C-alpha cells in the first residue's frame, strides 16, 4: 500500500513537473487526493479478497510446490463454499518462486504492486521465504510461513508469522525422540549442508548436550546439497556402529540415504524430520522406508473429522498421499482467513493483530496454542513411522520447554 501510494505521487510529480505557480500546485494536490482516494475505494471495493501464495512449482522442489498449491486450492474451495469472508469470495493468487531467493523477491513485489493481496502464504523453503519476508514487512502485509524453518523469517518484523516449527524446536524435538523414545546411546548425524539441515542438526546437538547424559554423538558429517552417492558417508557410519542415525535433509536426500543404507546391510534405526515427510520418500526408498521415523507437523491418524476429511479428499482428487508441507500451507491460508473474519477487515494491521491474537486454533497440523511475541507458533510436535508404505502415528512431543520457541 505504501509503495503504491508512492508510485502514484511520483507519477503525478512527473505529469506536473513544470512551472505553473499556485494554480499548478493546487491542481497537483487535487490529483494526488483524487487518485489516492480512488485507489483506496478500489481496493476496499474489490469483488474478491486476494490472498497470495508463493511456492516452488517448478525445479528441484516441484513435488513440494504441487502439494502446497493443491492443498491451498482445497482450502480456498472450503472457504468459498461456506460463503467466503466478509461477504466476498476469496481469490488465490499463486506464483512460482522456484525455491530461489531472487525469484521470491520479484514475486513478492508482483503480489504487492500488481495483485494488491491482503495477506500471503509463504509455501516455500527457507531461502525464498526469508528473502521475501522483509518486503511484506515493509509494506505491512501479513505473511504466514507454512513450513520454512529459518529464524530470520519471523525476525523480519511483526507482520511475519510461522505456522511450522522453528528449526531449533524441531531439532531439539528430534533429539528428545532419539533419546527418550528410542533410547539411543550412540548417534550418527548425516546433515544436508544448507540452512535447513544445519539448523535442525544444531537443535538436535543442543538437546543431546544438555539433556542426554550417557548419550554420545559418534559421527557427524554434512554433505553437499546435490549429493546423490551417500555410500562413502554410510561406510564410515557402519564402522562406528551407532544405534541411531539422524538424517536431516529433504526427501530427495533422505530417501536415497535410507535406500543406500539398507542396500549396504545397515539395519540401524534412521530418524528424519519434516523434510522427509513426503510420499516421494516412500516412492524413492521403496520397501527400505519401512520403520523409518520422522518428527513432523502432521498426524495422519488424528481422529478429528477435519483432518480425516482433508486426507481423504486430497488423495481422492490428486491420486497421491498428502503430506506435511501441503497440510501446513492449508493451515497458513486458513489462519489468514480466520484472522480477516475476526478482524472484520482486510487492513494489514488489523489482520496482523488478529493473527497475533490466535488462540487454540483447530488446525490440520494440530491444536495451535497461539503465536509468541515474535510470531512463532506453539503446538505439539508429531512423530510418525512408516508402516506398510504409509506414515502412521508413533508418538507426540508435548514438553512445553521443547515446543515453545
pLDDT, tens only, 95-119: 999 999 999 999 999 999 999 999 9
- Can you give the residue range of the structural domain that contains 188? 168-296+385-403
In a domain, 135, yes or no: yes
| Sign of the C-alpha dihedral computed for residues 397, 297, 294 and 129 taken in this order | negative
Domain identity same for 216 and 147 = no
In a domain, 380, yes or no: no
In a domain, 234, yes or no: yes
**Can you give the pLDDT at residue 46?**
75
Domain identity same for 264 and 131 = no
Number of domains forming the structure of the chain: 3
Domain identity same for 37 and 53 = no
Domain identity same for 309 and 252 = no
Domain identity same for 201 and 251 = yes
Domain identity same for 172 and 243 = yes
CB atoms within 10 A of CB 219: 18
Domain identity same for 180 and 67 = no
In a domain, 355, yes or no: yes
CATH code of the domain in which 193 resides: 3.40.50.2300
Sheet hosting strand 160-162, strand order edge to edge = 89-96, 48-55, 119-122, 143-145, 160-162
**Can you give the pLDDT at residue 384?**
98
Rounded CA separation 128/10 (Å) = 30
Rounded CA separation 341/405 (Å) = 27
Domain identity same for 116 and 137 = yes
If we measure between CA atoms, which residue out of 351, 20, 303 comes closest to residue 158?
351
Domain identity same for 219 and 272 = yes
179-184, long-range: CB < 8 A, 24+ apart = 179/207, 179/208, 179/211, 179/212, 179/215, 181/383, 181/394, 181/395, 182/244, 182/269, 182/271, 182/293, 184/215, 184/242, 184/243, 184/244, 184/269
In a domain, 377, yes or no: no
β-bridge mates for residue 119, sequence order: 51
Rounded CA separation 156/170 (Å) = 21
Cell of 87: 461477504
Domain identity same for 156 and 40 = no
**Can you give the pLDDT at residue 35?**
44
In a domain, 376, yes or no: no
Rounded CA separation 161/166 (Å) = 11
**Can you give the pLDDT at residue 403?**
95
Rounded CA separation 161/153 (Å) = 8
In the predicted model, residues of the chain with pLDDT beneath 50 are: 3-4, 6-9, 12, 15-16, 19, 23-24, 26-44
What is this structure's pTM? 0.88
Domain identity same for 261 and 389 = yes
In a domain, 35, yes or no: yes
Domain identity same for 267 and 390 = yes
If we measure between CA atoms, which residue out of 21, 23, 87, 95 comes closest to residue 58?
95
In a domain, 379, yes or no: no
Amino acid at each position: 500500500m505504501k509503495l503504491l501510494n508512492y508510485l502514484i505521487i511520483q507519477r503525478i510529480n512527473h505529469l506536473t513537473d513544470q512551472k505553473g505557480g499556485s494554480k499548478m500546485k493546487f491542481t497537483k494536490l487535487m490529483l494526488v487526493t483524487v487518485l489516492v482516494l480512488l485507489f483506496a475505494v478500489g481496493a476496499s471495493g474489490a469483488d474478491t479478497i486476494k490472498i497470495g501464495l508463493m511456492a516452488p512449482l517448478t525445479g528441484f522442489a516441484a513435488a513440494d510446490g504441487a502439494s502446497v498449491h493443491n492443498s491451498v486450492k482445497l482450502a480456498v474451495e472450503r472457504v468459498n463454499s461456506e460463503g467466503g469472508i466478509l461477504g466476498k469470495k476469496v481469490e488465490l493468487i499463486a506464483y512460482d518462486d522456484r525455491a530461489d531467493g531472487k525469484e521470491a523477491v520479484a514475486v513478492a513485489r508482483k503480489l504487492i504492486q500488481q495483485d494488491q493481496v491482503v495477506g500471503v502464504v509463504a509455501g516455500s523453503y527457507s531461502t525464498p521465504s526469508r528473502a521475501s519476508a522483509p518486503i511484506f514487512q515493509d509494506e505491512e502485509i501479513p505473511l504466514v510461513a507454512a513450513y520454512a524453518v529459518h529464524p530470520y523469517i519471523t525476525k523480519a518484523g511483526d507482520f511475519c508469522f510461522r505456522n511450522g516449527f522453528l528449526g531449533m524446536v524441531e531439532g531439539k524435538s528430534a533429539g528428545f525422540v532419539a533419546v527418550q523414545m528410542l533410547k539411543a546411546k550412540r548417534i550418527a548425524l548425516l546433515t544436508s549442508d544448507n540452512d535447513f539441515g544445519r539448523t535442525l542438526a544444531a537443535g538436535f546437538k543442543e538437546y543431546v548436550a544438555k539433556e542426554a547424559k550417557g548419550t554420545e554423538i559418534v559421527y557427524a558429517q554434512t554433505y553437499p546439497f546435490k549429493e546423490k552417492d551417500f555410500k562413502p558417508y554410510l561406510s564410515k557410519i557402519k564402522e562406528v556402529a551407532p544405534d541411531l542415525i539422524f538424517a536431516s535433509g529433504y526427501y530427495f536426500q533422505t530417501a536415497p540415504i535410507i535406500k543406500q543404507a539398507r542396500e549396504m546391510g545397515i539395519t540401524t534405526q534412521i530418524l528424519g524430520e519434516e523434510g522427509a515427510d513426503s510420499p516421494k520418500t516412500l516412492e524413492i526408498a521403496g520397501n527400505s522406508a519401512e520403520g523409518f521415523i520422522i518428527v513432523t507437523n502432521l498426524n495422519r491418524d488424528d481422529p478429528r473429522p477435519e483432518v480425516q476429511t482433508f486426507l481423504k479428499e486430497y488423495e481422492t482428487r490428486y491420486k497421491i498421499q498428502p503430506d506435511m508441507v501441503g497440510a501446513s500451507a492449508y493451515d497458513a491460508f486458513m489462519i489468514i482467513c480466520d484472522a480477516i473474519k475476526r478482524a472484520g477487515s482486510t487492513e494489514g494491521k488489523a489482520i496482523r493483530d488478529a493473527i497475533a491474537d490466535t488462540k487454540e486454533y483447530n488446525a490440520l497440523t494440530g491444536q495451535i496454542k497461539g503465536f509468541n511475541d515474535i510470531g512463532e507458533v506453539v503446538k505439539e510436535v508429531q512423530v510418525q513411522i512408516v508402516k506398510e508404505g504409509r506414515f502412521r502415528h508413533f508418538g507426540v512431543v508435548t514438553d512445553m520447554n521443547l515446543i515453545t520457541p
